Amino acid sequence: MQDLDKIRAEALAAVAAAADLDALEAARVAALGKKGSISALMATLGRMDAEARKTAGAELNRLKDEVAEAIASAKAALEAKALDQRLARERIDVTLPVRPETTGRVHPIAQVMEEMTAIFAQMGFEVAEGPDIEDDFHNFTALNIPAEHPARQMHDTFYFGERPDGSRHLLRTHTSPVQIRTMLNTAPPIRIIAPGRTYRCDSDMTHTPMFHQIEGLVIDRTTHMGHLKGCLMEFVTTFFEVDEVPVRFRPSFFPFTEPSAEVDIGCSREGGELKIGPGKGWLEIGGSGMVHPNVLRACGIDPDEYQGFAFGMGVERMAMLKYGIPDLRTFFESDLRWLKHYGFLPLDVPTLSGGLTR
Ligand code: DAH
């Protein structure tokens, strides 16, 4: 046991010298680990006679406790130091000047779809989605547009190549197929909107081959055309952020609704400036109507039990009217100067409580 003082001195020196937690752990293993110096001494106890073992055992235990305590306090000190260093490293200087504003902008189409979604969500509508690549059934047939119906020609459809069974997929010409998918998959009551991309083989001043629509659909037992008009009136005043927007329904025809109406909103054009609100002019913003019984039937919904309305609006048109964007084609030119001018700051998410537009 003459090694005791030496072992104590070595172990305590190693603990004191440990500059970090790894070194401290190494010192602990060297003294108290399975093969450590103190553990080795403990192993010799067995070979002693009872009296010697008693004194040596007590001494060794004291040594063990002493070294363990030294390790514990060194550990606490090292951890405190590590925390201080980390706090210093991660300190934020709140007096630094703000970073330059990000140059990225939210495209007006995305912004307007967010705004529309916020408004309809408040009215209890859920967002539904469908694929851009559709089939004939969802895009036409189920919407009461049978083969050879003239409405098919009017849609200037982009078709894919023929498949072995003779059918052809297509790029959806409107968001109305999302109505069909929703009705096939959900039991009424239904209250959805479906914003998304649509495609028509058409390109001039006022048409782009890809554009966006938002579809609305409400199905239950009692919803009628008055609800449709009230819903759209509420929507346009909130969307355009003006107190009063006159809404006019003009009788029209869509295969998937009966009766059908085109929706106009009031505007004035004083001094060459277009203003949404009461005035002499009218602007068409979309189509609407009561869902045709044939459409309900195609989706397995009994028209004697259920009824409801649908509407469809062009997103670009709504964006142009709200934000005074004069040319449709600029939406898709990816001109950074245009985006910087008409785009929105990414953190200004439109909400009804926080404001649609800031
Ligand atoms: N799908 C029509 C189109 O693209 C727009 C439309 C009109 C949708 C009337 C509707 C509706 O849901 O009821 O021209």
Domain assignment of residue 356, yes or no? no
Looking at the structure, tell me whether residues 83 and 114 fall in a common domain.
Answer: no
As a whole number of angstroms, the distance between CA 286 and CA 262 comes to 6
Tokens of 102: 């990000």
Q: Looking at residue 140, what DSSP letter applies?
A: T
Nearest CA to ligand 1 atom 12: 311
Does residue 197 lie within any of the structural domains? Answer: yes
Q: What is the pLDDT of residue 351?
A: 80
Residue 288 CA, closest ligand 1 atom number = 13
Question: How many CB atoms are closer than 10 A to CB 72?
Answer: 13
Cis-peptide into 259, omega within 30 deg? yes
Same domain, 196 and 316: yes
The 3-state DSSP class for residue 146 equals coil
Residue at 140 is within a domain: yes
Ligand 1, pocket-test mutation among 170, 311, 313, 316, most atoms within 8 A of CB: 311
Instruction: Report the pLDDT value the prediction gives residue 136, as an integer from 0 to 100.
Output: 94
Residue 97 lies in a domain: no
Residue at which a domain ends, from 89, 124, 154: 89
- Residue closest by Cα to atom 7 of ligand 1: 287
- DSSP H helices, 18-49, are 21-32, 37-44
Q: End-to-end CA distance of the chain, in Å?
A: 82
Does residue 99 belong to any structural domain of this protein?
Answer: no
Residues 168 and 51 in one domain: no
Report DSSP letters for 151-192, one per residue: HHHHTT--EEEEPTTS-EEEE-SSSHHHHHHHHHHSPSPEEE
Structure token pair of residue 315: 């997103």
The DSSP H or E segment spanning 83 is helix 50-89
Q: What angle do CA 78, 82, 84 make, to 5 degrees?
A: 115
CA-CA distance, 257 to 287, in Å (whole number)?
10
Residue 154: predicted pLDDT: 64
Compute the distance between CA of residue 184 and CA of residue 219 in angstroms, rounded to an integer: 12
114 and 65 housed in the same domain: no
How high is the pLDDT of residue 46? 85
* Residue finishing a domain among 57, 89, 121: 89
What residues does ligand 1 touch, defined as CB less than 6 Å away?
174, 176, 215, 254, 257, 287-289, 310-312
Domain-located, residue 157: yes
Q: Which atom of ligand 1 is nearest to the CA of 215?
A: 12
Quote the Cα angle for 252-254-256, to 5°. Answer: 140
User: Do both 67 and 112 map to the same domain?
Assistant: no
Is 22 in the same domain as 153?
A: no
Residues 118 and 352: their CA atoms lie apart, in Å, by: 7
How far apart are alpha carbons 172 and 174 in whole angstroms?
Answer: 6
Q: Are residues 218 and 185 in the same domain?
A: yes
Q: Which of 89, 116, 135 is the last residue of a domain?
A: 89
What pLDDT, on a 0 to 100 scale, did the predictor assign at position 148? Answer: 83
Joined together, the tokens standing for residue 209 give 């081959």
177 and 312 belong to one structural domain: yes
Q: Is residue 355 part of a domain?
A: no
Domain hosting 126: range is 105-342
Q: Could you tell me if 118 and 49 lie in one domain?
A: no
The DSSP bridge pattern shows strands 190-199 and 126-127 to be parallel
Whether residues 34 and 109 share a domain: the answer is no
The domain spanning residue 153 has which CATH number? 3.30.930.10
Tell the residue number behind the tokens 């553990």, with chain if given. Answer: 39
Q: List CB contacts of 226: < 8 A, sequence separation 6 or more.
A: none
Q: How many angstroms separate the alpha carbon of residue 256 from the centre of ligand 1?
A: 8
3-state secondary structure labels for all residues of 258-295: EEEEEEEEEEECHHHCCEECCCCEEEEEEEEEEECHHH
Residues 58 and 116 placed together within one structural domain of the fold: no
pLDDT digits (tens, 9 = 90+) for 200-230: 998 888 899 999 999 999 999 999 999 999 9
- If asked whether residues 55 and 109 sit together in one domain, one would say no
CB burial of residue 138 (10 Å; 0-12, 13-18, 19+): buried
Q: Which residue, judged by its Cα, is nearest atom 14 of ligand 1?
A: 174
96 inside domain: no
β-pair partners for 215:
194, 312
Number of domains in the chain: 2
CA gap 271, 212 in Å, rounded: 31
State which residues of the chain have pLDDT below 50: none
Residue nearest to atom 5 of ligand 1 (CA): 312
